[in-house]
Amino acid sequence: MNANQGLLPVQTGASFPKLDTGHPQPDSELDRPLGSLAGPIITFGRVPLFYYLIHIPLIHGGAVLLDYVRFGWSPLATSGPWEVKPSEIPGSYGVSLPVVYLIWIGVVVILYLPCRWFAAVKQRRRDVWLSYL
């Protein structure tokens, strides 16, 4: 039996009529204009490793600063959290979940301008190493 035997012929180059409404029609849902919220999301998507690398020291520095404001000292300032004894941690250490969400939103807002700047640098320059960030 031949490999093509029993199969229906495939018509190639077929085109489908478009409705003439007087307005340009998008070819698919993906071709439609993006909303105003897409710009910042696309900016972060162009520099994901850059965002990742700078958000870690930003959050760490914010945690140390918050500790100094709340308790006058920070177990994270000179050593890692693995070196702190549980008896040294105050009972009110940490923050609530709504505060965590506010911090998360704050970090994203703070890092938007550096990410937009770096995305523009990547667009202007074609250095190979920039493609990794």
* pLDDT tens track for 38-50: 888 889 999 999 9
116 vs 12, more confident: 116
Quick count: other Cβ atoms within 10 Å of Cβ 106?
A: 13
51 closest CA partner among 43, 62, 39, 61: 43
Q: Quick one: average pLDDT of 18-30?
A: 59
Predicted pLDDT of residue 127: 84
- CA R_g for the chain: 27
Q: How far apart are CA 79 and CA 85, in angstroms?
A: 12
Domain boundaries, the chain: 39-132
| CB-based contacts of 111, cutoff 8 Å, min separation 6 | 51, 54, 55, 58
Q: How far apart are CA 61 and CA 66, in angstroms?
A: 9
Predicted pLDDT of residue 13: 57
* pLDDT tens track for 58-96: 999 999 999 899 988 888 888 777 777 888 788 888 889
pTM above 0.75, yes or no: no
* pLDDT tens track for 28-37: 666 666 777 7
43 closest CA partner among 108, 105, 100: 108
